[in-house]
Chain A
């Protein structure tokens, strides 16, 4: 007799990939053959802040950190590992065709949106920014087009009023709940992926730093959504007297109207700034190189810097 073991390769880099790795590793039906991960120094923004590591030598699994996925030595080495499936979670590099083709069931990728919506680098942020009521996770078979592979399974989640961290957490949990069973269905039950409806596709372009700057001419709804969407990076900020001031928390007042970009009030509860159709109430903020302060702290120590009637544009 043989016990059912699915041979898996894992490709992933940031913390959320590590959670997926752990979920796979604790399942006795899986046999993880190797990990593909980006070298620590090359992993991008926000990836070094926590103390996890897929490069950790204590993981008793062979780890590859190739910089060139087409290098012959690497290709030969990986090909020695026969696997059923390569699970790809936020690996951070485009996989060449030979990797897509070589596992028996191809490559399984988790994407944090309801595909075909939000294909691209920042699906969670773009979805919050747009004010969507729901999001979800999509398990797809990777092909050569970005996030356009056929779908094995999708699961939805309500994300109304949630910020980036809350949505990310919700979607990671949703993904972890379904990951192992999707893999078993693919390998044991020959689950076949279904083509996406490409006509409905939308993209979620990578966020730029500049997008974090508040445009006071926007509606309060847009400003508040961007604030929630960009909470991890690049965060929300405005420039005042050549200083980049970060907004760490805000409320909104739709009933207070005034000229966009003008300071409406400065009091112990908030700093009010008019936007197109209401007023943004800044309750927590941060000056460059300083710690985060509340509106009350600001009122007590710095209120002479910004006064009612000042313009932030």
Chain B
């Protein structure tokens, strides 16, 4: 990363011979490490809120924050995959609501065993991803429009299916296991949090160490070049939506544990928060650049701001305001980083 001024400029196009201003160097470092700026923001936010709000740094408060971000965190994994392909999923929160309703209602109303209900719910979630993916890749519609449409469709189906009612599960139901906590000292995490972290590990591994991940990044950066390299880019993009569907299914299970059942009216917030987490996490909306670990940090930042402002006694409307400002800042920083010069 440091300039090698000592190296002899033996060739006409030696990269090393070019001088960079300090600002260009920062731009370069951020360009190479997309998760770095979100990490700085997170550390800074934790320090500031730790000073402003006395309760903020207590282990109980911190572990509650992590539990609260688990749903958005899991959804944002799927959102990251889609945004990496230069798409976006505006329906992801409603798809999760639909899947969680299927799980909860099959279990509570039809008496389907919890594990089977879970699997059927995950299949429904995968089907929502498949639908989006087919519309985007086979019929060549813009992801924004497709998922705006399926957002309404999933909302309507959810409300019709649940007849507007929340579904409450038996407290001992298998589906609620994601809300059960395990304590390590004064830190307590739910199974849902562990499940979310597992999702990050698996998808993070796939993105960084498999050919599929490599093709996803390539497709998101330059679909035409990837096609010429022999990559089936339509299939790669479709796979992003399908894998996102799996993440949606897991998020649906986690949300069951958090609310003790399923709520047909919970989706809109999750849609926007998942996109917010991805964007704040340093993933470029133009595709091809970003990491799931950045998204995890992004989801944490969103939660830290919400909880921090709440603990500091600030009007909840300011929390929403803060999230909005963060998103615009993150996109601006991304634009600036993308203008990096060789």
Whether chain B is bound by chain A comes out as no
Interface of A with B (CB < 8 Å)? Answer: none
